[in-house]
């Protein structure tokens, strides 16, 4: 698996970038995570694209992968990026936790409250 190089000198369109990202996710899941899970210890949802946390983590993995290809640091990418993110992505309490028996992310009631709430920082606050 390699990042898709641009050979024509044109910047890829947003649609092309999305297609490349989706293809990369599908290849990584198919090729790297195709080991049997007879104990049901790894959670996944075929509708991964409907889970904001999963999309964010996979997008970060994709960007870091492209950089690792450029820098010739794929071994470090596997350990520092893939292994760390997939421990969360595929975990029992990861973004796919409720999809083990059926896809439920968008079936939540209108009264859904996130597990962790946030409040806006006061005016003038800086990190």
Structural tokens at position 18:
């999305």
In 6-80, where does DSSP find H-type helix? 14-32, 52-71, 74-77
CA distance linking residue 44 with residue 95, whole number of Å: 9
**Tell me, what's the pLDDT at 125?**
77
Per-residue pLDDT of the chain (127 residues; tens, 9 = 90+): 555 555 567 899 999 999 999 999 999 988 777 655 666 678 888 889 988 999 999 999 999 999 999 999 999 999 999 999 999 999 888 988 888 766 665 555 555 555 666 677 889 877 7
- Whether the pTM exceeds 0.75: the reply is no
DSSP conformation letters of 90-124: TSTTSTTGGGTTS--GGG--TT---SS---PPPTT
**Tell me, what's the pLDDT at 38?**
66
What are the boundaries of each domain within the chain? 50-85
């Amino acid at each position: 698996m390699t990042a898709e190089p641009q050979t024509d000198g044109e910047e890829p369109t947003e649609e092309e970038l999305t297609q490349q990202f989706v293809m990369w996710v599908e290849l990584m899941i198919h090729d790297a995570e195709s080991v049997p899970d007879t104990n049901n210890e790894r959670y996944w949802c075929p509708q991964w694209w409907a889970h904001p946390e999963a999309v964010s983590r996979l997008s970060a993995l994709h960007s870091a992968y492209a950089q690792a290809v450029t820098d010739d640091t794929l071994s470090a990418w596997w350990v520092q990026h893939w292994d760390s993110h997939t421990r969360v992505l595929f975990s029992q309490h990861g973004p796919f936790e409720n999809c083990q028996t059926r896809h439920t992310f968008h079936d939540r009631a209108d009264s859904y409250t996130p597990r962790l709430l946030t409040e806006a920082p006061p005016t003038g606050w800086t990190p």
